[in-house]
Structure 1
Amino acid sequence: MLLNKWIVTLISCAALSACGGQNSNTASSASAPAASTAGSATSKVFRVGTNAAFAPFDYLDENNEIKGFDVDLMKAMAEAGNFKIEYSNKTWGSLFPALKNGDIDIVAGAVTITDERKASMDFTEPYYEITQVVLVAPNKNVNTIDDLKNLQKIGVVTGNTGDLAAQKIFGATSDKVARFETVPVMTKEVENGGVEAAISDSAVVENYVKNNPNKGFKIIQIPDFQVEHYGIVVRKGDTETLNMLNDALKQIRANGKYDEIKAKYFGS
C-alpha cells in the first residue's frame, strides 16, 4: 500500500512538472509572434524597380550598382519613414507590367506623371519638375517646332515622354521618329549622326551635355513643350504604400534632406 502511494505521488509530480514545462513553452512561443507583429511595419522590404539608364536619376556605376538622384531620394525616404527598400534594374518596358503583376511594389525611375498613366497606376506627390528639350547636333539649326519638323530623323526612347512628344509633332507612325531602348543608345546615335536631334527630359539632356562638353551639342528649349513632373509609382489602389511614401517625402522636404540630395546632383 505504501509502495502504491509512493508511485502515485511520483506520477503526480511528473505530470505537474510536464504541465509546468508546457505552459512555459506556450508563453514563450506566443510572445515571439507578438514581437514580430509589433515590428512588421518597419521590417517589410519594399521592392523598388527602376531603369538604370537615365542618368543622373538612375544609372549603373563602375561596380554595376544602381546609383542616382532617385536612389538617394528613396534611401532618405526609407530612413525617414522607417521602412526598407530593395532595388532591381529592369528595362523601361517591363517596369509597369512588373508592378501590376506584383513582382515589385514601387517604381522610382523618373516617371513623368500623365493623365494616361494615372488611369492605371497611382503617383505620389511630384518630386521633380522637368520639361522636354531637344538635343541637337552641332551643325543643325533648330529653334522651333517647324525647324524640328524639317529634320530627317529624331531620336526618342521608346515609351518615354519624349516619345509621346514626338508622336504629337510627327504622328504615331512617322518614319522620322527613330526609337531606342535607352538614353545612352539614343545620344550615341546623335553623336554618330544616325539621328540629327533627340527629344528627352531636360535634366537628363543637361547631364549628358555637361559630361560631354567637347562634343559641341546644343540644348533647345521649345515653348510648345509643357512643364512636367516626376512621381513615384505604386499599384492602382495601394493607398497604404502611397500614403507611406508621401509622408516620407514630406519629411525629407521639411528636414532639408531633399535639398541636400538635389544639390548633390544638380547644384544649388
Structure 2
Amino acid sequence: MSNNFFRHARALALTAGFIGMLGLAACNKEQPAAPQAAAPAAAKVYLVGVESAYAPFSAENEQKQVVGFDIDVMKALAKRIGIEVKFVPTPFEGFFNFLAQGDRDLLISAITITDERKKSVSFSEPYFVATQTIAVPAADTKVSKMNDLKPLTVGTQSATSGDELVQQVLGKNNAKIKRFESTPLALKELEGGGVDAVVADEPVVKNYIANNPNSKLRTVTDDTFPKEDYGIAVRKDDPELLAKINKGLADMKADGSFAAISAQYFGK
C-alpha cells in the first residue's frame, strides 16, 4: 500500500472521529430540566386572640406562656378539627377590632355572648356558663346587692359585661366608675382602697381571692345577675370554621373530654 493510501485512511479516521465528537457533544448538551412539582403550601396557622390576665381562663405563666382553661379547650379543639393554632395575647378592649381587621382568626377568653357583639362577630355554641359577682373588702357590711353600689366608687375591666352591668346601675358616664385594663388590676386597686367595690366575672374574682389570701376580699352574689354564656368568636365571613368549631365542641362534650378539662380547673 502506498503512503497516499495511509494518508487518505488517516484523514478519513480523523474526520470520522471529529464527527463522532460532535455527535457526542450534541448528545451531552444539557437538556431543559423537567418542571418540578410545586411544593405543598404550608398549613394555615390560626391566630387565636387571648387575654393574658384572666385566670383561670387564660393567663401568662412564669415562662410567658399563655395557660388556662380556655387554652386547654382550644388546644384540644384544634387537634379535634385538624387545625394548627397560635395563641396571641391581645388586650380585651380591642379584641373584636383585631378579629375584624384579620389580625386574629379566633377569639377565646371567657367572652360573653351578647346580642350587641353578635352584630359584628359569629359565636360558637356556648361552652361555659358564668355570672358576675361583686368583690368588696371582707370587713365591708354595707354591700349586699348591686343597688348598694350606687353611692360608691366601683372598679371594672373596660369593655366587659361587668362594665356594662355597672353602667346600668350607676349610669354610663358616672365618674365613680373606674375602668382598668384587667380584672386583677381592678382587684388590686380594691385591695389598696382606690375603689370601694369591683364587679367582674365570678370565676375570675374567686380565682384571684383564692390565690391572694392576704387580699382580705369577699364576694357578694346578687340573684338578679343574669347567667352569661361564653363562646368562641370568629369572623362572620368564616362559616366553615364556625361549623368545624361547633362540631368539635359537641364531640368533646359527648365523649367526656371537655368535662375532663373542666374538672381540672373547676372541679366536678
CA distance in 1, matches of 2:231, 2:251: 16
Shift of 1:147: 1.8
Q: Deviations over 1:126-175 (max 9, x none)?
A: 111011111111222222233222x4211101101100001111110012
Match of 1:62 in 2: 62
Question: Rg: which structure is higher?
Answer: 2
Letter in 1 for 2:144: N
Any runs of at least 4 consecutive aligned residues in structure 1 with deviations exceeding 6 A, and if so which? Answer: none
Match of 1:250 in 2: 250
Letter in 2 for 1:81: I
Amino-acid identity (%)? 36
Shift of 1:7: 7.2
SS at match of 1:133: strand
CA distance in 2, matches of 1:217, 1:111: 25
Aligned residue pair count: 253
Which structure has the highest helix share of the two? Answer: 1
Match of 1:230 in 2: 230
TM-score of the pair, normalised by structure 2:
0.86
Match of 1:167 in 2: 167
Greater mean deviation of Cα atoms: 2-11 or 239-248: 2-11
Match of 1:145 in 2: 146
Q: Deviations over 1:80-134 (max 9, x none)?
A: 1111111111211222211111111111111110000000011111111011111
Shift of 1:250: 2.0
Whether the aligned pair in 1 keeps the contact of 2:152 and 2:197 (CA below 8 Å) is: no
1:13/1:152 CA distance change after superposition, 3 Å = same
Match of 2:205 in 1: 205
TM-score of the pair, normalised by structure 1:
0.86
CA distance in 2, matches of 1:6, 1:215: 96
CA distance in 2, matches of 1:223, 1:254: 31
Shift of 1:251: 2.4
Match of 2:4 in 1: none
- Is the counterpart of residue 190 in structure 1 residue 190 in structure 2? yes
CA distance in 1, matches of 2:265, 2:194: 30
